[in-house]
Amino acid sequence: MAVIDVHAHIIVPEITRAITGDDWSPEVVWENVRRNGDRQNGVRRNGGRQFVTFEGKRISSALREFCDIETILAEQDRVGVDKLVLTPWSSLFRYEADVATSLQVNQVQNEALARLVAAYGEQIVGLGTVPMQAGETAVTELTRCMQELGLKGVEIGTNVNGKYLGDAAFRPFWAAAEALGAVVQIHPVPGIGGATNREYYLWNAFANPAETALTASHMILSGLLEAHPGLKICLVHGGGHLPYQIGRLDRAYEMRPEARKHISQRPSYYFKQFYFDTVVHSVQALAYLVALVGVERVMVGSDYPFDMGVERPADIVHALNLPEAEKAKLLYENAGRLFGG
């Protein structure tokens, strides 16, 4: 069976420090020199293991090729993935920057992704990024992504400078996304947890999926999904912690007037409007998710190239006790329908 991986990241060479000359930009480096290194597309290649330097820190969580598209496609082909939905690294959203800077960084990445889609359209779907801290600018860039660049939507963070995605400030963006038919993939960015996140790798092991659960809950209870039922929203990491606690939101809806202020149905009704990837690291958890939201709403993901991802993303689907026709939906049919081919 074919496999479409809907959750994979890239640092496009055009945003690396060697190309931009910007101290803020990431640098992708290969260490353990075995030969004289050369620079190709802004990436230093000296043999050995790759690492990313970003904002003065070495990012050790990216275990595989992060920048060179030929290598990325070869690695994914090796593990049985036929097509990738490629998105920017979430650390490169630049929500904290001024609008002009954020837009410039977004556009560099969007245009680079568009070139990759043009060159590798049979193997790549691209999702761009927009300056969510500036509503009109975000809508304009989203429209450009969809109508000019050939991208299928955008990836956005779970919060924008502490503001979660059900907030009224984001309604123009959501209205545009619905009207354009854009897929919006929501990816964790720092928010929950505070200082405790610095211990035991909790920022990634716990706080990232908790971020997804919080923003999805906020979107549901704010009435966003009731107001815009045509939205195409994918929650990565299997929806975070929310699938297990959706009954608690339903209980709040039954017991508390503030929890039902903006919605006319139980939260679990709206929860099934989301799409989800399979990055849950547990066959039992994935089986529960599929049973909860339906086989039509779940798609294969890897979280390539990160250590908390999955190297062989189709394996967890094959381990499910499902008919082959239903496994095919998770492996490629749902993603093919959502992303249009």
pLDDT tier, 91 (very low <50, low <70, confident <90, very high otherwise)? very high
Mean pLDDT of 319-330: 98
With beta carbons less than 8 A apart as the criterion, state whether 40 and 102 touch. Answer: no
In degrees and rounded to multiples of 5, residue 83 shows phi and psi of -150, 145
* Structure letter (DSSP) for residue 313: T
Average the pLDDT over each of 49-53, 141-145, 204-208, 258-262 and give the range with the smallest value.
49-53
Mean pLDDT of the chain: 93
Burial, 188: exposed, middle or buried (Cβ in 10 Å; 0-12, 13-18, 19+)? buried
The pLDDT, as a whole number, for residue 43 is 42
**Dist. CA 239–CA 263, nearest whole Å:** 20
| Tens digits of residue pLDDT in 278-297 | 999 999 999 999 999 999 99
Q: Is the dihedral of CA 109, 4, 29, 70 positive or negative?
A: negative
Beta strands, E only, 48-162? 50-54, 57-59, 83-88, 124-126, 153-157, 159-160
* Structure letter (DSSP) for residue 77: H
pLDDT tier, 48 (very low <50, low <70, confident <90, very high otherwise)? low
Of the candidates 92, 95, 100, the residue with the CA atom closest to the CA atom of residue 55: 92
In degrees and rounded to multiples of 5, residue 122 shows phi and psi of -75, -15
pLDDT tier, 52 (very low <50, low <70, confident <90, very high otherwise)? confident
Mean pLDDT of 227-248: 98
Of the candidates 183, 104, 173, the residue with the CA atom closest to the CA atom of residue 132: 173
Task: Say if strands 50-54 and 57-59 run parallel, antiparallel, or are unpaired.
Answer: antiparallel
The pLDDT, as a whole number, for residue 21 is 83
Task: Say if strands 50-54 and 83-88 run parallel, antiparallel, or are unpaired.
Answer: unpaired
pLDDT tier, 341 (very low <50, low <70, confident <90, very high otherwise)? low
Cα–chain center distance at 321: 27
pLDDT tier, 55 (very low <50, low <70, confident <90, very high otherwise)? confident
Residue 313 in this model has a pLDDT that exceeds 80: yes
pLDDT tier, 46 (very low <50, low <70, confident <90, very high otherwise)? very low
Residue 276 in this model has a pLDDT that exceeds 80: yes
With beta carbons less than 8 A apart as the criterion, state whether 165 and 186 touch. Answer: yes
**Dist. CA 51–CA 29, nearest whole Å:** 5
Mean pLDDT of 308-318: 97
4-12+63-339 is classed CATH 3.20.20.70: no
For helices 135-147 and 99-119, give the axis angle rounded to 10 degrees.
10
For helices 135-147 and 171-180, give the axis angle rounded to 10 degrees.
10
Residue type, 235: L
Asked whether the whole model's pTM tops 0.85, one would answer yes
| Tens digits of residue pLDDT in 196-222 | 988 999 999 999 999 999 999 999 999
